[in-house]
Amino acid sequence: MAEHYFEVEPGIELHYIDEGSGRPIVFVPGWTFSIDVFENQIAYFSRNYRVISLDPRNHGKSTISVARNTYNVQGEDLAKLIDYLQLKNIVLIGWSFGGLALWSYVEQQGVANLAAAVTIDVSPRTLSSEANEWVAGSLEDLIQVHNHSLDSANHYRAFIEYFAENLLFEHPITVEEKVRFTAPSLRIPHQIADALYVDGWLTDKKAAAKAVDQSVPSLTFISSPRAETGVPYTKTEFPNSEIHVFGNHQLFWEYAEKFNQILDQFLSKHAL
């Protein structure tokens, strides 16, 4: 794959790939991960679509920056890249906290340039006091991770290894997979990872998610461990979204063929 760089602001470059031609599909990875997670999707969809995937600032091969580490800024960066590439009628796909970047883009730019939206195992609110809300945990969970797992480089390494071993796949993670998928995260200083983690937990993108659901074709993937809460919540709050449940958090990698077929059928159904 050809690699590209775009200076999103002075001193800050975003690394991205741009493969294929046709309707643009933009993939955004989640917290601390990189373009590499979408390898199977890039290879598959670039045969019939123009596929763009970016490393958000601090992620993958993009610039490390100690300032402006929020998902609102990631939404700004995404908009600048889309404008730079002159992409029109895009299909925007966000995995995990990459979904927060997607909804941040919508908050700032609206849905006029959005042909469809796909979110993968992410709720617009990671933390909430409302009953029956689809969340990732409690305030106590956030405090624990912030104070004891992201407070030092050593603790951060241990947390990333735990994350990889327990949350990514249904199958036991192999040594090769573990090395591959933790390497981009471990490139990021723990202070920056902490800032993004806390911002992701405290942000609220529900209004943007509703705007997407009401305006454009929407597809929601939910991992099996999150389905009990995630499915009824999505059906109630975002009734126009198509929902599919399988796998664990990195379901699009472990079950790439199934994921790609579902997404391909969704794009075909909506003539995208």
Q: How far apart are CA 158 and CA 109, in angstroms?
A: 38
Q: What is the pLDDT of residues 211-244, one digit of tens each?
A: 999 999 999 999 999 999 999 999 999 999 999 9
How does DSSP assign 119-181, residue by residue? Answer: EES--SBSS-SSTT---S--HHHHHHHHHHTSSSHHHHHHHHHHHHHHHS-SSPPPHHHHHHH
Q: How far apart are CA 187 and CA 151, in angstroms?
A: 16
**Is the model's pLDDT at 101 over the cut of 90?**
yes
Domain 3-269 has CATH 3.40.50.300: no
SS3 assignment, position 87: coil
Q: What is the pLDDT of residues 196-216, one digit of tens each?
A: 999 999 999 999 999 999 999
Structure tokens at 226: 């999150």
Radius of gyration of the chain from its Cα atoms, rounded to whole angstroms? 17
Structure tokens at 24: 């643009």
Tell me if 118 sits within 8 A of 94, measured CB to CB.
yes
**Is the model's pLDDT at 132 over the cut of 90?**
no
pLDDT band at residue 271 using 50, 70 and 90 as cut-offs: confident
Any residues with CB less than 8 A from the CB of 188 and at least 6 apart, and which?
Answer: 32, 58, 59, 64
SS3 assignment, position 8: strand
Mean pLDDT taken over the chain: 96
Give the CA-trace dihedral at 126, 217, 31, 232, to 10 degrees: 30
Q: How far apart are CA 169 and CA 238, in angstroms?
A: 26
Tell me if 45 sits within 8 A of 51, measured CB to CB.
yes
Predicted pLDDT of residue 85: 97
Give the whole-number percent of the chain exceeding pLDDT 70.
100
pLDDT band at residue 172 using 50, 70 and 90 as cut-offs: very high
Q: How far apart are CA 224 and CA 154, in angstroms?
A: 31
Q: What is the residue whose two structure tokens read 């997407």?
A: 212
pLDDT band at residue 256 using 50, 70 and 90 as cut-offs: very high
Predicted pLDDT of residue 221: 98
Q: How far apart are CA 101 and CA 122, in angstroms?
A: 11
Q: How far apart are CA 52 and CA 59, in angstroms?
A: 15
Tell me if 64 sits within 8 A of 188, measured CB to CB.
yes
Domain ranges of the chain: 3-269
Distance between start and end Cα atoms, the chain: 24
Structure tokens at 180: 């591959």
pLDDT band at residue 130 using 50, 70 and 90 as cut-offs: confident
The pTM assigned to this predicted structure is: 0.97
Q: How far apart are CA 254 and CA 151, in angstroms?
A: 31
Neighbour tally for 8: CB within 10 Å? 23
Neighbour tally for 224: CB within 10 Å? 14
